Structure 1
């Protein structure tokens, strides 16, 4: 890799400053560009670990009921813990990764990933910290799906994705159903009920006139 590329990577992943010049120059260590809609499917055996330098990646999984649910998103300076789990366990990828925005990533061949893991303490710490952070997020997601009503989850999602200054959310009912892991009909029915109560207004592919103070009352 070129020096300017290494510097770019280290700006986002400071712990990689410990990597030796020789390891940076190993075959297969490179920055790749991934186009929108590129997908790494669930069940794939991975040959590389990837650290996101720029872009957005949506991680999702099919439930036992056949519905797709969004697990989390990755952006600049992040990597996927499920990817790491797949590599460390030498098992199939347990999620699907879909590129939502043009993405650039540092890729590291799996054999070299293990070498770096053994050699560099800072690299090991990053891997373990990534697991810990995402474990908490996944636990919160499971709690939300199991114990919160769909009305509450919609309200929380809309509030998270909007602000007082920007109270328009561009999303279809199908997309929202994938985000929340339920069927479109339930989303549509619940949104229409919230619209009747004056919490928001529904448009084509949009949720507008969002009344944040009223949505807060919908959160159980």
Structure 2
């Protein structure tokens, strides 16, 4: 993890109870070792839109997200983006862990979707925990298992599912009636282009599934979207 576009600011202190509630794999550590992992300077606050890490950069730490959401995306040579997964509080980024374990650079980039509060475990601390603290090692490998399952589902959808199905699933996954989102943002998440997504959304609107506004989409027939997503 290596914020690249905005300066970070250190918080006054780390809320250890919050960290341990979100990351119980650290709770078995001796108090002095835990304190060494959580100094005030390890806490960072990043505004929305910050590029948390970029392709071809070395990973300088293992992120523990306390607040906010990070989207991890892959940029194609054509300029199109495909969202691989999101990181939420209590989780972490398998691309960061794979880079640290394999001593490689990032092969995707992470963007702060919302303001973030996170801790960055130094490389040496991450390596030591992987070797010496089995609960942390299990946590990291369970992350790999969960994310690989998600990525396999993404590959299956990209390869075999129609784009209208994927768009319906994406709208439903937000679990909101009114979505503050642009057609370009939806296209980026689907790895498509805005013109195609706009055409599909217009079709959804004509079917009465959604209504469209400026940078806004309202779900008017959730059952109909569910039926389309399940086709």
TM-score of the alignment, normalized to the shorter chain, above 0.5: yes
The alpha-carbon deviation at position 104 of structure 1 amounts to 1.1
- Paired with 1:145 and 1:189, the residues of 2 have a C-alpha distance of 19
Structure 1, unpaired ranges of 5+:
none
Asked if structure 1 preserves the Cα contact closer than 8 Å seen for 2:61 and 2:120, the reply is yes
- Matched residue SS, 1:193: helix
Superimposed CA distance per residue, residues 65-100 of structure 1 (whole angstroms, 9 cap, x where no aligned partner)? 431111111111110111100111110112111112
| Contact 1:52 1:79 (C-alpha < 8 Å) held by counterparts | yes
**Structure 1 residue aligned with 2:203, among 178, 181, 193?**
193
**2:168 is the alignment partner of 1:155:** yes
How far is the alpha carbon of 1:3 from its aligned partner?
Answer: 9.1
Q: Does 1:182 align with 2:195?
A: no
| 2: CA distance, partners of 1:144 / 1:176 | 15
* 2:62 aligned with 1:49: yes
Partner in structure 2 of residue 6 of structure 1: 16
Alignment partner of 2:44 out of 29, 32, 45: 32
SS of match in other structure, 1:202: strand
The size of the alignment, in residue pairs, is 217
Normalised TM-score (structure 2): 0.87
Quote the residue 1:216 is aligned against. 226
Match of 1:207 among 178, 197, 217: 217
Provide the rounded CA distance (Å) in 1 between the counterparts of 2:209 and 2:18: 44
Report the counterpart of residue 70 of structure 1 in structure 2: 83
Quick one: structure 1 residues 3 and 14, their matched pair in 2 at CA, closer, same or farther if it must change by over 3 Å?
farther
- Choose which of 74, 77, 94 in structure 2 pairs with 1:61: 74
Moved more, 10-19 or 133-142: 10-19
* Equivalent in the alignment of 2:118: 105
Any idea what SS the aligned residue of 1:42 has? coil
C-alpha contact (below 8 Å) 1:58/1:74 kept by paired residues: yes
TM-score normalised per structure 1: 0.91
Q: Cα RMSD between the aligned structures?
A: 2.1
Mind listing any 5+ residue stretches in structure 2 that lack a counterpart?
A: 1-11
Q: Cα–Cα, structure 1 residues 9 and 210, in superposed 2: closer, same or farther, change >3 Å?
A: same
Question: Which residue is equivalent to 2:8?
Answer: none
Contact in 1 for aligned 2:22/2:89 (Cα 8 Å): yes
